[in-house]
């Protein structure tokens, strides 16, 4: 678990992805489609959807990943999203990063058109223009990774998203990052058991951090969730929701797989 309270540019796989993201942004410009963004309406709220008597499941549309390789290269985003909604997903996460995950904004738009649940744009957001693109594509919320952003950029991007009426999920992996997320006013915090620099999974990270998240903030356990036992473990540590990607991408029947993950009672957290 990262103990330092000094930020330094990420290395490893995360650093490589961020370098690629910067190159892509330099090529396409700021991506700001302006105030007439087509996706600015009909975007159901995410935080409310993750508050229920049961641990909510955020199902992820993901073709491949640096840690798992190819998962489902031929995946149809709209078809997958319809299966997710039928299986009881409270929300859908769409990986839009192209080089490492095989995603695109077109995937997000297809999911938004095919389903009625909230959609999270999961990407490596560094600039405000990416937030405008998320709005245009119909996202309800965007992911901000605390490790990827210098301390001054996390609150700045959080505020920029809020000004666009986009919710924010801030991803953390240390107590300092959690403190930064709370100081930025995050209403949803995801704790990733996977270190994006080394790709190693340590379930002790969310087990430690989720109980520290105030009860008024939605807490999401990310990575390593495959079956009902994993959801119950997350619930035991106070998670309001889990994010499930690779297991569903590999499933031959994602709707049926999802049904086995829903229905676990949410136990909540003190404080």
- Quick count: other Cβ atoms within 10 Å of Cβ 101? 24
From the candidates 72, 223, 246, 249, give the one annotated as an active-site residue. 223
Whether 97 is catalytic is no
From the candidates 65, 171, 177, 251, give the one annotated as an active-site residue. 171
Whether 152 is catalytic is no
Whether 200 is catalytic is no
Q: How many CA atoms lie within 13 A of 94 on its CB side?
A: 32
From the candidates 122, 177, 193, 246, give the one annotated as an active-site residue. 122
How confident is residue 4, by pLDDT bands cut at 50, 70 and 90?
A: low
d(CA 82, CA 111): 8
In this prediction, what percent of the chain has a pLDDT beyond 90? 86
* pLDDT given for residue 73 in this prediction: 84
Whether 68 is catalytic is no
From the candidates 167, 193, 222, 246, give the one annotated as an active-site residue. 222
* pLDDT given for residue 29 in this prediction: 60
Whether 171 is catalytic is yes
Dihedral over Cα of 96, 101, 106, 109: its sign: negative
**pLDDT tens for each residue of 194-207:** 999 999 999 999 99
Produce one character per residue of 49-70: b if its CB has 16 or more CB atoms within 10 Å, e if not. bbeeebbbbbbbbbbbbbeeee
d(CA 8, CA 14): 12
Q: Measured in Å, how far apart are the chain's first and last C-alpha atoms?
A: 23
**pLDDT tens for each residue of 158-198:** 999 999 999 999 999 999 999 999 999 999 999 999 999 99
Whether 60 is catalytic is yes
- Write out the two tokens for 42: 């009909």
d(CA 234, CA 204): 11
Decide if pLDDT at 3 tops 70: no
**pLDDT tens for each residue of 23-82:** 999 987 644 554 434 444 578 999 999 999 999 999 999 999 999 889 888 899 999 999
* pLDDT given for residue 36 in this prediction: 39
From the candidates 90, 93, 192, 193, give the one annotated as an active-site residue. 192
- Give the distance from CA 227 to its chain's centroid: 19
Whether 140 is catalytic is no
d(CA 53, CA 208): 22
233-245 mean pLDDT = 97
How confident is residue 271, by pLDDT bands cut at 50, 70 and 90?
A: low
d(CA 248, CA 267): 24
Domains for the chain: give ranges and CATH numbers: 46-259 (3.20.20.70)
């Amino acid at each position: 678990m990262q103990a330092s309270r000094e930020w330094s540019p990420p290395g490893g796989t995360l650093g490589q992805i961020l370098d690629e993201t910067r190159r892509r942004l330099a090529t396409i410009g700021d991506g700001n489609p302006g105030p007439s963004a087509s996706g600015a309406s009909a975007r159901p709220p995410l935080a409310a959807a993750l508050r229920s008597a049961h641990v909510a499941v955020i199902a992820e549309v993901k073709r491949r990943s640096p840690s798992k390789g190819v998962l489902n290269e031929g995946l149809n985003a709209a078809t997958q999203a319809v299966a997710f909604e039928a299986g009881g997903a409270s929300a859908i996460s769409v990986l839009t990063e192209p080089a490492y995950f095989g995603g695109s904004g077109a995937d997000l738009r297809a999911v938004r058109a095919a389903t009625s649940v909230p959609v999270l744009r999961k990407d490596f957001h560094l600039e405000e223009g990416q937030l405008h693109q998320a709005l245009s594509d119909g996202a309800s919320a965007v992911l901000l990774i605390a490790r990827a952003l210098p301390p001054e950029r996390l609150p700045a991007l959080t505020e920029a998203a809020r000004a666009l009426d986009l919710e924010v999920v801030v991803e953390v992996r240390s107590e300092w990052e959690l403190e930064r997320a709370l100081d930025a006013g995050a209403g949803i915090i995801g704790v990733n058991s996977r270190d994006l620099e080394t790709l190693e999974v340590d379930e002790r990270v969310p087990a430690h951090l989720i109980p520290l998240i105030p009860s008024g903030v939605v807490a999401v356990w990310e990575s390593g969730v495959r079956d009902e036992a994993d959801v119950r473990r997350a619930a035991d540590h106070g998670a309001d929701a889990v994010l499930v990607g690779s297991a569903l991408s590999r499933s031959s029947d994602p709707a049926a797989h999802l049904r086995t993950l829903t229905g676990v009672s949410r136990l909540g957290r003190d404080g």
